[in-house]
Amino acid sequence: MVERGDVAMPRTARPAWEARPVRPDAQVVASQTYTVAPGDSLRRVAERTGAASEAIARANGLAPPFTIRTGQTLAIPGGRYHLVRPGETGIAIARAYGVEWSRIVGANQLAEPYVLRAGQRVLIPGDPAQPPSRADRAAAFRLDIDDILTGGEPAPAPRQAPAKPVTSPRRVLPPTAVVAAPARLQGGFVWPADGQVVRRFGPGKSGERNDGIKIAVPVATPIHATADGVVAYAGDGIAALGGLVIVRHGNGWTSVYGHASKLLVQRGQSVKRGQTVALSGDSGFADRPEVHFELRRGRTPVDPLGQLPRR
């Protein structure tokens, strides 16, 4: 184990967004029209103009399979388009341009599972003539759960298959390995720890929103996986949550465990329901030794008390 601040964790690969920096070399494309030539496909039009094929499809009302015909006039939407290389993540792209990843998701209408592909072009919001301020760049470096869920996976190289989950934290996957979520949720959810719920889901007294629940437990209490799954993240990259584990379960479900003092799993590791994934603590912005626990369906936080067994 190695110590990072007040959180101990297994030796593991750096997150993909740190290990594969992005060069901000987006192509600026002017709004224009394009006349389809013989042999053109939507992808070839995108390559010739520098715009994203998905953006061209939206601008022209094209639906799958995105058929175009010779002589057709297409509107090419202008903007800054970044060409995704193998291993790049949405988070790293956002950091390179000083733009919040959530804005890039919205501008490109990205959908689940949010994994970029090598060769894809993504529209970078903002004025290319106005470089981001220091404050904008600082904001782009503040991670949240949604960033990791939607922008944390590296773009696979052509024909790169997802990595098989490992069963032990001793085998470290490379940061460029693509980790696929389970296809289906197996069974229901169990409590991650046995303790008193000291904060519930939703807005608090001062108006701040809690996307999960907080369970008061003694330091070093085992934190259990709520269901079978694959670890999507294990680290301390979100300051407020300290030691953090995120597990994908299938059917769009994800669980989140924060404020841990010690992490026992790594990204890409398969875990079983009830398996200990961390030990509790008071890391991050915890008020006391406690477990921060979330359940999400897609990007949407769900009240865990409506999903967990009654006690």
Compute the distance between CA of residue 292 and CA of residue 280 in angstroms, rounded to an integer: 9
Compute the distance between CA of residue 39 and CA of residue 108 in angstroms, rounded to an integer: 27
* Residue 3 pLDDT: 43
* Residue 256 pLDDT: 98
- Give all strands (DSSP E) within 27-144, no chain letters: 27-29, 32-35, 73-76, 79-83, 121-124
Compute the distance between CA of residue 310 and CA of residue 292 in angstroms, rounded to an integer: 18
* Residue 4 pLDDT: 46
pLDDT, tens digit (0-9, with 9 covering 90-100), for 82-105: 999 999 999 999 999 999 999 999
Task: Profile the chain (311 residues) by mean pLDDT over runs of 10 residues.
Answer: 66 85 95 97 97 97 96 97 96 94 96 91 89 74 92 92 90 88 92 96 82 97 98 94 96 97 95 98 95 96 97 80
Nearest Cα to 113, choosing from 255, 252, 237? Answer: 252
* Residue 130 pLDDT: 79
